[in-house]
Amino acid sequence: MSEPDTAETFTGSFTQQEPLPEAAVRAALAVLGHGRLHRYNTAPGEIAETALLEEDFAAFTGAKYCLAVASGGYALGCALRALGIGPGDAVLTNAFTLAPVPGAIAALGATPVFVETTEGLTIDMEDLAAKAAGAKALLLSHMRGHICDMDRLMAICAAAGLPVIEDCAHTMGAAWAGTPSGRHGAMGCYSTQTYKHLNSGEGGLIISDDADLMAKAILISGSYMLYPRHRAAPPPAAFERHRLTTPNVSGRMDNLRAAILRPQLAGLPARAARWNALYRVIEAGLAGTPGLRLVERPEAEAFVASSFQFLLPGWPAGQVRAFLARAALRGVELKWFGAPEPQGFTSRHDSWRYAPAQQLPQTDRILAGLIDMRLPLTFSDADAALIARILRQEAAAVLGSGEDRAAIPQAD
C-alpha cells in the first residue's frame, strides 16, 4: 500500500473516558449532602449504597454473594487470603498479566509461578497441567479480556484439586459459553478503576457462591462486627465460624464510590455493545494487513472490548519501534509488551523480580510482537476506522522500507 500524500492524523485521546452519567452525579451529590460516606455509617432504616451495589452486582453476575472493596488489586489479595494462601505457597498465574496480579500473590509471602501464554493471549493448558502439581491455587487472569476455554481449564484444575480465583479486571460483563466471567472459579475479582468497565476512580468487587470464603472475605475487608449490615452476604452461621480467627486487613469501599457505580452498572450492557462495535471496526480495518496478525476470538467467548491487541509476529525490535513511533506521529498511541523495560501499564514477567526468575520462551516470543491499544468510549466508529487505516499504512511503510524485510514472516 502506498502512503497518501497528506497523511491523516488522529487527534483523540486514548486515556479520556466518558463523563459519568447524570444519575451517577446526582447519586454522588446525595451522599456528599448527607455525609455518611463510611459504609457502616447509616441512618436508622437506611441501607448503605455499598450494600446496595453488592446486591446489584450479585444479581448482575448471578452470584450468591458479593463484596465491594477498595481496589481490584485488593480484591485479588483478599480472595487469596480467604482461600488460606500464605507464606511459601506456590500460586499459579498467567505469565501475561498486569503487575497487581503477581503482586497480590507476593504480598502474602506466596510465590507466583507463571504459566505460558497462547497465540490467543490466554493461559496455556498444557503448561498449566504440567505445573498444577504442588501449587495451592490458580489466580487466573483474563488479561485484556481474552477468555480461555473455561470448561477445559476447570476440568484440569478440578483434576489437580486446584482452586481457581478469577481476575476479571477486563471481563466484567463478559462470558464463556453463556456463564458470566467470574462465575467459574471459587471467587471472581473485578476492578472499578478508571480504565476498567466501570469507573469509580479506584474500587473492586468480589463474588462467590461459597459461604465460608465470602464470610472470611467480608471479615478480612474490615467489617468489624458490623457484617449483619451486608445484604449480598452469607448467613450469620458462616460468620460465627470465622469472626474471631480472621485478621482485619481493611480495604472497604465507601458509599460515594458505590453510589456512582450503581447507575453505571445498569448501563454496562449498552457500553459493552459500543466497545465491541469499535473493536469490530478496527478488526475489519486491519484484516489482511501483511505482517500483522489479529487475535482470534472463540465463538464461546462473549467479550467486552475495552482494548484491542494484535501481533507483529517475528518483527525485529527495531521495526516494532519504528512502527510505534510512526503511529505515534499520527496520533495513535500504542503499547508494546515486548519492550525490555516496563513502560506505563505494560510490564512483563521478567520485570517482576521479587518472583523467582522463570523460563517462559513461548510467552516471550508472543509478547515480543504484542501491541496493545486502549479503546475509550469517547471514540466514534469513524475514529476507529481512521485508527485502523493509520496502522495499516504504517505497518506497510515499515515493512516496505525495512532492511530486514526478508526476515519478516507472513502472518497467515
Ligand X SMILES: *Cc1c(COP(=O)(O)O)cnc(C)c1O
Which residues contribute to the site for ligand X (CB under 6 A)?
71-73, 97-98, 100-101, 141, 143, 167, 169-170, 191, 193, 204
Which one, 137 or 169, has the nearer CB to ligand X? Answer: 169
Which CB atom, from 193 or from 363, has the smaller least distance to ligand X?
Answer: 193
Question: Cα 70 to chain center, whole Å?
Answer: 16
CB atoms within 10 A of CB 274: 16
Shortest CB 402 distance to ligand X, Å: 33
- Beta carbon nearer to ligand X, 207 or 390: 207
For residue 302, the minimal CB distance to ligand X (Å) is 18
Q: Give me the torsion for CA of 366, 289, 279, 123, rounded to 10°.
A: -20
Among residues 82, 78, 153, 172, which one has the least CA distance to residue 115?
153
The smaller minimum CB distance to ligand X, of residues 94 and 393, is found at 94
- Report the nearest approach of ligand X to the CB of residue 337 (Å): 13
Q: In what order do the strands lie in the sheet with 111-115?
A: 65-69, 204-208, 187-191, 164-167, 137-141, 90-94, 111-115
- SS3 label, residue 336: strand
Q: Give whichever of 142 and 262 is closer to ligand X, judged by the CB atom.
A: 142
Give whichever of 167 and 210 is closer to ligand X, judged by the CB atom.
167
Nearer to ligand X, 100 or 313 (CB): 100
Q: What are phi and psi of 202, to 5 degrees?
A: -130, 155
Q: Which is nearer to ligand X, 71 or 255 (CB)?
A: 71
Nearest residue (CB) to ligand X, 157 versus 205? 205
331, with CB counted inside 10 A (0-12, 13-18, 19+), is middle
Residue 82 beta carbon to ligand X: minimum distance, rounded to whole angstroms: 17
Query: Residue 300 has which C-alpha cell?
Result: 464461546
Kindly state the smallest distance separating residue 235's Cβ from ligand X, in Å.
Answer: 29
Q: Which stretch of DSSP H or E encloses residue 397?
A: helix 381-401
Q: How far is CA 361 from CA 115, 116, 118, 122, 303, in A?
A: 11, 8, 11, 15, 28
CB 176 within 8 A of CB 147: yes
Burial class of residue 268 in the structure, from the number of CB atoms within 10 Å of its CB (0-12 exposed, 13-18 middle, 19+ buried): middle
Cα dihedral across residues 243, 58, 95, 342: positive or negative: negative
Alpha carbon distance 291, 410 (integer Å): 5
3-class DSSP state for residue 232? coil
| Least distance in angstroms from the C-beta of 87 to ligand X | 22
The Cα–Cα gap between 175 and 162 comes to: 22
Q: How far is the CB of 193 from ligand X (least distance, A)?
A: 4
Q: How far is the CB of 170 from ligand X (least distance, A)?
A: 6
C-beta of 144: minimal distance to ligand X in Å?
8
| Cβ at position 218, least distance to ligand X in Å | 19
Indicate the residue whose CB is closest to ligand X. Answer: 72
| Residue with smaller CB distance to ligand X, 220 or 388 | 220
Which residue, 373 or 397, has its beta carbon nearer to ligand X?
A: 373
DSSP 234-299: --HHHHHHHTTTS-----B--HHHHHHHHHHHHTHHHHHHHHHHHHHHHHHHHTT-TT-EEPP--T
Please state the closest distance from residue 335 (CB atom) to ligand X, in A.
Answer: 12
